Structure formats: structure tokens, C-alpha cells
Amino acid sequence: RATDAGAGILSPATNTRDPDPWLRLAAFASEYYPQLVDNLQAEQDGDTGFATCGMMLVAVSYDEIESFAIARQHIFNRRDQRGEPAEEDLYEISSDEARRRFPALGDVRGAIFYRDAARVDGRLLSAALHRAAEAKGLVVKYAGVEQLLIRDDSITGVITDGETISAGKVVIAGGAWSVHIPVEPQRGQIIHLGLGDTDTSSWPIISAVRGHYMVPWPDGRVVVGATRETGSGFEARTTAAGVLEVLAEALRVAPGLAQAEVREIRVGLRPYTEDHLPVLGSVPNIQNIYLATGHGPTGLQLGPYSGKLIADLVLGRELETDIDAYQITRFL
């Protein structure tokens, strides 16, 4: 699953890759996270791995200076237009300050720091959500869905491994396996490095101008990644080329990681859409069936809030944000 392999970076303010509708959804999603985590901590005993840790966008070579300048202008113009984040929370820092915050960095030609960026552990968060939901009556059934049952243009249930389950409403949230929807698997390879007794608890996330990242965790672990292998098909496996790409970029940016231990390599299949937007909302011409998929490499960032939106839609509640930009009808 993409959830298990995801880096768990929550930092829409430093995003320069995705379109405006993504940024609008990400802003709501980031505001929702602390509330979600507080609720989970009150309802079950497990950790979510959520923490505010800060993030730096860095350029480390002279040939990245132009790209960094474009990213800096984009980030600060958006901050000034929207009035958030505050200037004291999102600002440029010196090369020395960048290396002080993340000692493994090498040369730094430019750096922007965002104080409120956060991280979350996908495995821990998913487990916490399951425990909290099961305590409220959720039943989890591990089975393949073979068929949707439709009568008079309305969903009536599903068939799973030969068993018929009646349902008045159905949400399709199958990730990259959401068939007959314009979503395809995009393989991502991510490597967990161990730095022994090094205290990484205060290190911020690093986002390199070229698109790779490093996510430190308090246990002396730094997660580096990731590949974005569109066209990979459903082959969730490590490759020599993928591992080389991830490690080469990590050591180019942070040569201080060269002696780190390779603890684990994870692989996930992201549900990728060509316009980099998720697929959320109802299905045209069939009543009471809903879609929640296509979050690509930002599933951990957007997923929980997308789930809330779909739950509100299913229950007939008013949505706090417009989801027209994410509807399946944009592909029709």
C-alpha cells in the first residue's frame, strides 16, 4: 500500500509542484490534522507519529540557483497574496543556519524554512484510525470486491469473494486498484536510513529543489525518497535503478548521511492522476456511490481530510469546501 511506504510530509506552504485546486484542498487538510490527531489520542491508546517539525526547501548546487529563485518567488508571492503563513513562520535562512538545523547537509546555495510543517507515520496513523473506528462499530473485511450491485440506477451492495453484502451507499477508495477510473499505479521507492545514536529529533524535513526529500524521525532515522515511476504497473518491488536514484540524490544533498545504515526499503503504488488532483465525489448517473482515490504522492497529506469530506457527503452534511474540481466528471 502507498500508505505504508509514504513519507508523511505535511507542508502545503512550500509546495511548488501542484495546481491551485490541490493547494486549496491541502490547506484545509493541514488545518484538519491537529483536530484529527487530538480526537484519535482521546479515543485510542496508539501513537499516530504526528509532530510539527519544520521543513527546509534547499538548493545545494550552482545549477539549482535559478530554480530555487523561481520557487522562492512563487512561495513568497503566494504567502503575501493569501496573508498566510505569517512572515515569521515562512522565511529565507542563511546557509549556515540551514546546516545548523540539519547537520548532514553539504553545501547550501539557498534555503527557505517553514516552521509549521509536520510529519505523520502512515502505518501508525492507519492503525490508530482502525482502532478508533472499530471501537465505534466498524467491521473490516479483507476481501476482493468482484462486482457492484446496481438496480434502477442506484447501488444496492457489492459481491466480495462470492459473498453478497447489501449496502445503501458505497465508497470506492481502492487507491491504485480503483479500476475503471482514470487512476494508474505510480511506484515509489523510499529508503529508511539509521544514524545510530545521532539525535535527529529536532531536525526538520528537507525538500530539495529537484524534488526529493528527507524526513528525520526521533529514533535516529532519516527517511529519504522517493522515486515517481509512472507507468510502473502493479509491480511493487525495489529496483537497482530506483535505489540508486534515491541514495544518489540523498547523498548529493546531504553527504553527511554517507555512513548511515540502510535499515529498510519500502515500495508503494500511488494512485496517480494525470492532472495531479484526487478523484472525490459522487458517480454520475448512479445514485449513492462515491469515489475517494487518486491522491498520488500526497495521500497521507490529503487522505484524512478527503475521507471527512466524503463522509459528510454520504451523510448529507454541508461541505465546508467546494469539491467540483475533484469530481470524476472532469475526465468525461
User: Cell numbers of 328, please?
Assistant: 470524476
* The predicted structure's pLDDT at residue 17: 83
Quick: pLDDT tens for 105-119: 999 999 999 999 999
DSSP string across 163-208: EEEE-S-EEE--GGG-TTSS-EEEEEEEEEEE-TT---TTPPEEEE
Domains and CATH numbers, the chain: 2-123+183-272 (3.30.9.10), 141-182+275-331 (3.50.50.60)
User: Cell numbers of 293, please?
Assistant: 482515490
* The predicted structure's pLDDT at residue 38: 95
Residues of the chain with pLDDT under 70: 1
Give the single-character DSSP code of 75: H
pTM: 0.93
